[in-house]
Amino acid sequence: MKLSRHLSGIAVFALSVLLAAAMSLTSAGPARADRTGLQAADPSVIRVGGTYVSVQSAGGGIAVRQASSTAGLASAPARRIWSDTRDLGEVWAPEVVRDGGRYYVYFSAGRGAAHRMYVISSATADSGYTAETKLALADGKWAIDGTMFTFGGQRWFVWSGWAGDTNVEQNLYISRMSSPTTPAGARYVISQPRESWERVVGNPFINEAPEAIKDPNGQLHIVYSANGSWSDQYCLADLRLRAGGDPTYVWDWYKSNGCLFGSARATMMPGWDPTLYVDGPGHHSFVLLDGDIGTSPPAGPRFPLMFHAVAKGTPYSWANRYWYTGTFSWWGGITYSRANVPGSPTSTGWSLKFFE
């Protein structure tokens, strides 16, 4: 009797171990994409203390939400901070940053070829904003998706724009800033959509939605969206500035050899897998303290990410895009390669992994 009870206890224990192992294997798989209740595009989110602040275009203006978590932004009240009283046109992709304790929101407004970058600012996140000021970017060409950051003691502005006056392709440009509202000097192209994996969907081919971040070695990265935002080929890719490089010199930038976050396996960088639960992830936001790349995370743990995407099994369209919460982490020892251009053909350093 004692022996049978002992064997029975062993069996129960063994079964519990097997069940625990099965549950562990299940939980070790990819987490489901966390879709917020915000049916919208182009998230921009920063953390100010323990509060998460987001901006979005809405109803011919710009709205701010504040919550104690990224997931809570969807249910937070939206407060309008700016309205298009001068009928500038379509209002796209506002970006919020803080500089000197003041909030700056950059956005594009216009119709067709008239899109240009504007900025408003306030001492508080959800009220008291100035009237819009048009940014006097060099050459005065079509410009969208702009944002400001500080690197190497210098303010910079990076955006997506046209080389000329026609919609041939969208390039990434960078310019110095003498203040948060004043560009200084020329614009410099730092990326063009010329790789095969970023030319799957075009007319025009695009590089857009650039976001700056600094890796654990202190090198600057610009993570951007490639392929048409109107397709499920939309994805995130990376530009890494070489150590000691000049942000205005295009050949000091090294591009990832494929998408780092996307849903099409054929366009992914070797060693990176496509998404499981969403299609066309892109136009992301690194959720940094004060939106300052000086607070970029170290190597090791995962950190908050916001992006827009369409749930798998849902027709891909702009109307079906939602904000999603995800995470990212640094991935070391990754080589980006290139050919037939000045400088070294390879650069090895930090890249990024993105998680649904």
User: What are 52-111's pLDDT values in tens digits?
Assistant: 999 999 999 999 999 999 999 999 999 999 999 999 999 999 999 999 999 999 999 999
Q: Which two tokens mark 300? A: 């090791």
Q: Is the pLDDT of residue 22 over 80?
A: no
pLDDT band, very low/low/confident/very high, at 201 (cuts 50, 70, 90): very high
Residue 202 pLDDT: 87
Tell me the three state secondary structure of residue 4.
helix
The dihedral of CA 12, 16, 22, 25: what is its sign? Answer: negative
Residues contacting 56, CB < 8 A, separation 6+:
38, 40, 42, 43, 44, 62, 63, 65, 78, 94
Quote the percentage of the chain above a pLDDT of 70. Answer: 91
Residue 32 pLDDT: 62
Question: For tokens 């978590």, what's the residue?
Answer: 69
Centroid of chain to Cα 350: 17
Q: Is the pLDDT of residue 39 over 70?
A: yes
Q: Is the pLDDT of residue 276 over 70?
A: yes
Is 42 within 8 Å of 57 (Cβ atoms)? Answer: yes
Report the b/e string of 189-226 with b at 16+ CB within 10 A: ebbbbebebbbbbeeebbbbbbbbbbbeeebbbbbbbb
What mean pLDDT comes out for the span 198-217? 96
What mean pLDDT comes out for the span 221-245? 98
d(CA 168, CA 203): 7
Q: Is the pLDDT of residue 31 over 80?
A: no
Q: Which helix (H) or strand (E) holds 35?
A: strand 34-35
Q: Are strands 169-179 and 154-161 parallel, antiparallel or unpaired?
A: antiparallel
What mean pLDDT comes out for the span 324-334? 98
Which amino acid, one-letter code, is at 151? F
What DSSP assignment string belongs to 49-100?
Answer: TTEEEEEEEETTEEEEEEESSSGGGGGSPPEEEEE-TT---EEEEEEEEEET
Backbone angles phi, psi at 87, to 5 degrees: 55, 55
What mean pLDDT comes out for the span 274-283? 98
Closest CA to 63 of 120, 6, 138: 120
What mean pLDDT comes out for the span 287-309? 97
